[in-house]
Structure 1
Amino acid sequence: MGRRRTGRAKPTVSSHEPVAGLYDTDTGTCELVKDPYRDSGWILEVNGVPSSHIDPDDPTLLEFEYMRWITMLVHSHFSRDTRLRALHLGGGACTMARYLAATYPEARQVVVEIDGRLAELVRKWFDLPRAPLLRIRVGEARSVLTSLTDATRDVIIRDVFAIDRTPVALTTVEFTRHARRVLAPGGLYVVNCGDTRDLTTARREAATIGSVFEHTAMVADPAMLKGRRYGNLIIAGSDRPLGESDALIRDLLGGAVPAQIRHTGETRTFAAGAKVLDDSEAPQRSAAPQRGTPEPS
């Protein structure tokens, strides 16, 4: 998905001043591109794949629809005065963390990003909240998750991709059990699942999350749910009911890309017959995963 380039730019970086160009990172390259439709917007590409959109002037702007769907689930699950403890697995430009910091002022957040140089650049380019409001922890998502103490997070958002797929080791039932262990009672686990028209990956992820959490939900636009194209589905799990408010249904339908929600019964029907993912299917990870988003075409 990257463009052809005649040479690598050598942009300089100053604090809180993003500069368009191609940069070396620990896992390859990232490119910062001006948003052609919004003067203050930026697109971050990681190894040629669009990863994040961020507007330094507006932390509440979310250009990627799947991010809006995630925040709608979070808002329906936690009141705005909650001192939210959030864990983001996958960093990118920290767009989601920045949004939650703006809408939950008392939130305490940790973003896990495997690429230390990318994390450094994002800190320099964008006015991110500082610790203890927002910490960026350089590390591999599974290793960090398994190291965390029980019941210490209210929401865990998994948004990690290697090109167009989430590494299998971050989708298994063993990984999902760690997520539930780290969540406090009533907590919310949300994953961004990219899939093709056959929806095999989404069905298996829904089955896996449904095997660990009592309550589940899925959010996507109707074409995606019917297997008419590839794109993003949001799958969530909790030990208490989620996504059942009328306001959430209206908000999802009112977006630029109207979406629908499937609750526990419908999600289990969707996943019926799908095999739960487990660690036996996870290959040896020799390459570092990176974050990306298979945005609908």
Structure 2
Amino acid sequence: MGRQRGGRAARTSDGGPVAGVYPIDTGTCELAVDNLNPHGWVLKVNGVESSHIDLSDPTYLDFEYMRWIAELVASHWSTDRRVRALHLGGGACSLARHLAARYPDARQVVVELDGKLAELVREWFDLPRAPLLRLRVGEARAVTETLTESSRDLIVRDVFAGNTTPASLTTTEFTGHVRRVLAPGGIYVVNCGDTRDLVLARREAATIGSVFPHTTVIADPAMLKGRRYGNIVIAGSDVPIGDDPALVRTLLGGGVPAHVWDDGQVRAFAGAARVLRDAESGS
């Protein structure tokens, strides 16, 4: 593996990607072979593991939290639904690629801040083309605020600067923009990375619960008990979500068994946590 210089992404003679460190607009990204999967690739952005892609199977998701989101979506919509999805945060477009395979009629937009990264990912991973999957370069909040009311069925927020979600994407005001853009019956899903104290997760749950009448949380029990750092999936909707018994069974049987909390449990978890506001984030 070596450091690649500007220009187009390096490719092998058969058209496959080449492991290496590549310059991007926000720093560097590293593409590495997954030693446990001959078809797998791991993408790191500025030293932080961002995405995993299996070139032989677009439905395969290596990251557990992405599997949880995918199963929540599957419990809500049948595969013949033309889901209109907005992904805030691109990485390698793993989840968008999965949904494109599972929902052939879906129309998806992935918003990625780093234009060069978006270009490399498009070249490396043979993503579906527009109108099935469009990559839009821009800042997630700014793009969301320009979108038409009720124009999306699914909005997924998976944006990180290092290991932290920008504060402007966690606030009540931003979540209000999300709800405006969601169509009736739509789902807003966030990947919340938090430490063992769960302060951020509680505040995110309180914030999403202040905007949406129905919420759910998906995470592994150790994370919910504050025993480790990790990911908590929090979702909001104007209709009940996460209440399908089949979803509960599927997530309990996963590689990392996960619990699904209903709206009452989510609100009890949030407790007296203060909602997040633009004034606090400096937005």
TM-score by length of 1: 0.92
**Secondary structure of the equivalent of 2:60?**
coil
The aligned counterpart of 1:276 is 275
Identity %: 67
Cα distance, 1:275 vs. partner?
Answer: 0.2
CA distances 1:261-281 after superposition (whole Å, capped 9, x unpaired): 111000000001000001011
The aligned counterpart of 2:19 is 20
Cα distance, 1:78 vs. partner?
Answer: 1.1
C-alpha distance in 1, partners of 2:113/2:17?
A: 21
**Secondary structure of the equivalent of 1:23?**
strand
The aligned counterpart of 1:73 is 72
Residue 117 of structure 1 aligns to which amino acid in structure 2? K
**Residue 120 (structure 2) pairs with residue 121 (structure 1):** yes
CA distances 1:224-268 after superposition (whole Å, capped 9, x unpaired): 000001100000000000011110000000100000011100000
What pairs up with 1:188-203 in 2 under 5 angstroms? 188-203=187-202
C-alpha distance in 2, partners of 1:79/1:263?
A: 21
C-alpha distance in 1, partners of 2:55/2:178?
A: 31
The aligned counterpart of 2:34 is 35
The aligned counterpart of 2:260 is 261
Cα distance, 1:10 vs. partner?
Answer: 4.1
C-alpha distance in 1, partners of 2:32/2:10?
A: 14
Cα distance, 1:13 vs. partner?
Answer: 2.0
Cα distance, 1:164 vs. partner?
Answer: 1.0
C-alpha distance in 2, partners of 1:196/1:266?
A: 20
The aligned counterpart of 1:63 is 62
**Secondary structure of the equivalent of 1:251?**
helix
**Secondary structure of the equivalent of 1:57?**
coil
C-alpha distance in 2, partners of 1:47/1:262?
A: 34
C-alpha distance in 1, partners of 2:71/2:282?
A: 34
Contact 1:113 1:140 in 2 (8 A): yes
Aligned length, in residue pairs:
279
**Secondary structure of the equivalent of 1:136?**
strand
The aligned counterpart of 1:288 is none
Residue 171 of structure 1 aligns to which amino acid in structure 2? T
Residue 182 of structure 1 aligns to which amino acid in structure 2? V
Cα distance, 1:282 vs. partner?
Answer: 1.4
**CA-atom RMSD in angstroms:** 1.4
The aligned counterpart of 1:291 is none
Cα distance, 1:14 vs. partner?
Answer: 4.0
Contact 2:21 2:29 in 1 (8 A): yes
C-alpha distance in 2, partners of 1:83/1:232?
A: 28
Cα distance, 1:56 vs. partner?
Answer: 1.1
Residue 122 of structure 1 aligns to which amino acid in structure 2? V
Contact 1:17 1:124 in 2 (8 A): no
Q: 1:8 aligns with which of 3, 11, 21?
A: 3
C-alpha distance in 1, partners of 2:163/2:23?
A: 21
The aligned counterpart of 2:227 is 228
**Secondary structure of the equivalent of 1:236?**
strand
The aligned counterpart of 2:104 is 105
CA distances 1:131-187 after superposition (whole Å, capped 9, x unpaired): 000000000000000000000000000000111110100000000000000000000
Contact 1:153 1:182 in 2 (8 A): yes
The aligned counterpart of 1:186 is 185
The aligned counterpart of 1:163 is 162
**Secondary structure of the equivalent of 1:281?**
helix
**Secondary structure of the equivalent of 1:184?**
strand
Contact 2:171 2:275 in 1 (8 A): yes
**Secondary structure of the equivalent of 2:3?**
coil
Residue 3 of structure 2 aligns to which amino acid in structure 1? R
**Secondary structure of the equivalent of 2:42?**
strand
Contact 2:4 2:10 in 1 (8 A): no
TM-score by length of 2: 0.96
**Secondary structure of the equivalent of 1:204?**
helix
C-alpha distance in 2, partners of 1:163/1:19?
A: 24
The aligned counterpart of 2:151 is 152
Cα distance, 1:17 vs. partner?
Answer: 2.3
C-alpha distance in 1, partners of 2:176/2:158?
A: 17
Contact 1:13 1:124 in 2 (8 A): no
**Secondary structure of the equivalent of 2:117?**
helix
